Chains A and B, each alone.
Chain A
């Protein structure tokens, strides 16, 4: 083998993507921020219509990527775990449908919709609009109309539909539950659930922010108040409204100090400075 050949081999060995490549080393939080920005950009943009490049024969199986990815890969588990912790019934891809969310009746079984004036964290928040619940036009029934579904049943149905990843149907069911018992503990839970779907699956951060705020207005200290406040911050971030996001993060810290959410809020606030 000639000297040139040896050098070529040496260079070619470095022209690889696995292992420590030429990109500057990046910390886990910086990687997470980069990915977060990419996800925001993706959600704001429609899918590409143009065909993607013709696939080449597989060179490295995904499982190997997973192993090579190492520390960054660990973020996946953490993210999924965080998601599950944050919202216990959030669906995790590839798994069986998750358990249903806490039934509102379990938290506050008989709370009547007698709530004081709504207390909203963000004084500049947009007016809360009534959700648009799609109603199907059905022929006039010859028999007496059936009893409307109970709010709790609608939430249970929403949970089932969400487990089946039928996001639009699940959202409608939650919103119907919210309308059935407005400004109640039920609507608090239903609105947070619907907002989560709007934010994470329906690419509607503005609608999600409205619903999170409505949930807070119904029960400022409700069982999902933390999720709702953090949801407002996430939604405003997605919308690129930094001032509104900052206010939402400050509300998380003010109301839920000492929690992991407050810590995350502080970190994000520092990034916004």
Chain B
């Protein structure tokens, strides 16, 4: 949303809540890159990322009237998107098993790994984690939620959330080391 002054954000939100398509479009254009990245962190593979991102965008707009402005719009919207993604991930798990794995991504030989490729590699490592650990890691590290917030979001006791984070990080580290040896 380059060129959009931060002070006019609330004006955009109000207009979108009133049904202004152009305002809603402007809001989504600002949020979409992060929503897609978040969805990819939460889903296995790339196949459904755009479908689920679109659903998340719809959910954000449909819930927009509940945003009170006491948190950043992005922070609030990402929570809405995370819930949508996790809900969709559950629904699609069975379908994934039926469809089989995605074809491997091809990279140019000798291409220097950049941040994008590293980030994609990390997402593939996350694909190998159990979903509870994966969700906890993404909520905590990607979305910046505290452990109590993660526990509340996942509806599990505090100790369970902490345990998932610890085990998830350990597994992720092992996978990373295995891949770099």
Nearest B-chain residue to A73, judged by Cβ = B2
CA distance A20 to B33 in the complex (A): 9
- The B-contacting residues of A in range 1-44, CB under 8 angstroms, are 4, 7-8, 10-12, 14-26, 30-31, 34-39, 41-43
The reply to whether the CB of B92 lies closer than 8 angstroms to some CB of chain A is no
Cβ–Cβ contact A8 & B114, under 8 A: no
B21, B83, B119, B138: most-surrounded residue (chain A CB, <10 A): B21
Query: In whole Å, how far is B92's beta carbon from the nearest beta carbon of chain A?
Result: 16
Known contacts A15-B122, A21-B34, A203-B19; decide if A80 and B78 are in contact (CB<8 Å): no
Cβ–Cβ contact B149 & A62, under 8 A: no
Cβ–Cβ contact B6 & A22, under 8 A: no
Query: In whole Å, how far is A43's beta carbon from the nearest beta carbon of chain B?
Result: 7
CA distance A22 to B75 in the complex (A): 19
Cβ–Cβ contact B18 & A165, under 8 A: yes
Q: Which residues of A contact B119 (CB under 8 A)?
A: 14, 19-22
Cβ–Cβ contact B32 & A42, under 8 A: no
CA distance A199 to B109 in the complex (A): 50
Cβ–Cβ contact A15 & B138, under 8 A: yes
* 1/0 contact string of B1-32 vs chain A (CB within 8 Å): 11111101101101111111111111011111
Size of the B side of the interface (Cβ < 8 Å), in residues, is: 85
Cβ–Cβ contact B24 & A42, under 8 A: yes
Cβ–Cβ contact B74 & A62, under 8 A: yes
Known contacts A16-B142, A93-B15, A93-B23; decide if A35 and B28 are in contact (CB<8 Å): yes
Q: Which residues of A contact B46 (CB under 8 A)?
A: 23-24
Known contacts A53-B76, A55-B70; decide if A22 and B62 are in contact (CB<8 Å): no
Cβ–Cβ contact A73 & B21, under 8 A: no
Cβ–Cβ contact B58 & A38, under 8 A: yes
Q: Which residues of B contact A43 (CB under 8 A)?
A: 19, 21
Q: Is the interface of B mostly helix, strand, loop or mixed?
A: helix
Q: How many A-B residue pairs have CB under 8 A?
A: 247
Q: Which residues of A contact B36 (CB under 8 A)?
A: 21, 23, 26
Known contacts A34-B50, A62-B9, A79-B22; decide if A47 and B65 are in contact (CB<8 Å): yes
Q: Which residues of A contact B115 (CB under 8 A)?
A: 14, 19-20
CA distance A6 to B73 in the complex (A): 33
Q: Which residues of B contact A35 (CB under 8 A)?
A: 25, 28-29, 32, 57
The reply to whether the CB of B112 lies closer than 8 angstroms to some CB of chain A is no
Q: Which residues of A contact B64 (CB under 8 A)?
A: 47
CA distance A76 to B4 in the complex (A): 8
- The B-contacting residues of A in range 36-91, CB under 8 angstroms, are 36-39, 41-43, 45-48, 51-53, 55-63, 65-70, 72-77, 79-80, 83, 90-91
- The A-contacting residues of B in range 113-158, CB under 8 angstroms, are 114-116, 118-120, 122-123, 137-138, 141-142, 144-145, 149, 153
CA distance A16 to B37 in the complex (A): 8
The reply to whether the CB of A105 lies closer than 8 angstroms to some CB of chain B is no
CA distance A233 to B162 in the complex (A): 53
Q: Which residues of A contact B17 (CB under 8 A)?
A: 47
Q: Which residues of A contact B18 (CB under 8 A)?
A: 165, 167, 201
A-B contact pairs, 28 of them (CB 8 A): A10-B176, A11-B169, A15-B142, A21-B37, A23-B46, A23-B53, A34-B32, A35-B25, A39-B28, A42-B58, A45-B62, A47-B62, A52-B66, A53-B83, A56-B75, A56-B79, A57-B71, A60-B75, A62-B72, A62-B74, A69-B2, A76-B29, A77-B2, A92-B22, A93-B11, A94-B8, A200-B22, A201-B18
What residues make up the interface of A, taking CB atoms closer than 8 Å to B? 4, 7-8, 10-12, 14-26, 30-31, 34-39, 41-43, 45-48, 51-53, 55-63, 65-70, 72-77, 79-80, 83, 90-94, 165, 167, 200-203
A15-B137, A23-B46, A34-B32 are known; give 20 further A-B pairs, CB within 8 A: A15-B138, A17-B38, A21-B116, A23-B53, A42-B57, A42-B58, A43-B19, A48-B59, A48-B62, A55-B71, A56-B145, A57-B75, A59-B74, A62-B9, A66-B4, A77-B3, A79-B25, A80-B22, A167-B18, A201-B21
